[in-house]
Amino acid sequence: MTYRLSLAALLLLCCAGLAQAQFVWIGPNGTRQYSDQPPPPGTPPSKILKMPGRPAPAQEASTAAPAGDTVKPKAAPTLAEREADYRKRAKAREEADAKSQSDARNNAAHAEHCDNVRKNQRMYASGMRISEIGTDGQRRFLSDAERAAGSARTEQQLSECR
């Protein structure tokens, strides 16, 4: 007995899916019509919102236009238009990549410059004797005035790195 009841319940559940409305269209008075039968023969295809084998459109699109308006759907872009759009997007992507690579190179160069300036600052602050090689190839030591000028120059350059 329970086997037959469960089989009957299963059969009813399977048939319930078939009883749902499969067609949705906007009737002549502007109201939505739901049916398992196709719309009347005079209904234009633009008024049919849902039919078997065709997905339902977004809710806003079906309610946006009043019943009396005839809204022409936008035509699908041609192959040439799609190709032009693709090329435009590809060019914009290449420009963005080139800009990001340029920015990365500039940032790396700036970071290296700042590291060198910090090294010079540590050198001037160390108190050790600083020498340089002249144009004649001879080594000479910086005087206290040259060292103070170099330290001031380094401090000014370091202010750009912060």
Instruction: Give the pLDDT mean for 79-96.
Output: 95
In tens, the pLDDT along 32-58 reads: 888 888 888 888 888 888 887 666 565
Q: Helix 144-159 vs helix 79-125: angle between axes, to the nearest 10 degrees?
A: 150
- Report how far residue 114's alpha carbon sits from residue 120's, in angstroms, rounded to the nearest whole number: 10
- Whole-structure pTM over 0.75, yes or no? no
Torsion of CA 145, 149, 152, 153, to 10 degrees: -160
pLDDT of 19 > 50? The answer is: yes
Q: What is the pLDDT of residue 25?
A: 87
Q: Does residue 63 or residue 148 have the better pLDDT?
A: 148
Q: What is the pLDDT of residue 116?
A: 94
- Proportion of the chain above pLDDT 70, given as a percent: 83
Q: Mapped to the 3 state alphabet, what secondary structure does 122-153 carry?
A: HHHHCCCCCEEECCCCCEEECCHHHHHHHHHH
Instruction: Give the pLDDT mean for 129-149.
Output: 90
